[in-house]
Amino acid sequence: MQIGDLNSWVAHLAAASEPALVVLGLDGSPAELEALLHAEFEPLFADGARCPLLISSSLAAQGFQGHSEPMASPTQSALEAVPGTVS
């Protein structure tokens, strides 16, 4: 559920004193996920943000079928582009 402007809502969550689990259902290529995370959810990755983030992507999961070698997930690739999110 979302009330009001998405950017304001995300900024409010990121700045809250109590952490809130943010669950996103996103679909798209790695580039599309990266662009969406940067455009709409950047406050969640800012210094001081305390929101754990769970991303579900059905298209990303389909990309792993039939591969015997480990692959970088599209979400991993998208998060690697955001400083401080992946170690």
Size (the chain), residues = 87
Whether 86 shows a pLDDT value over 70: the answer reads: no
pLDDT per position as a tens digit, 42-65: 999 888 888 888 988 876 445 545
pLDDT per position as a tens digit, 3-54: 668 888 888 888 888 888 989 888 888 888 889 998 889 999 888 888 888 9
Q: Is 39 exposed, middle or buried (0-12, 13-18, 19+ CB in 10 A)?
A: exposed
pTM above 0.85, yes or no: no
Cβ atoms 19, 52 nearer than 8 A: yes
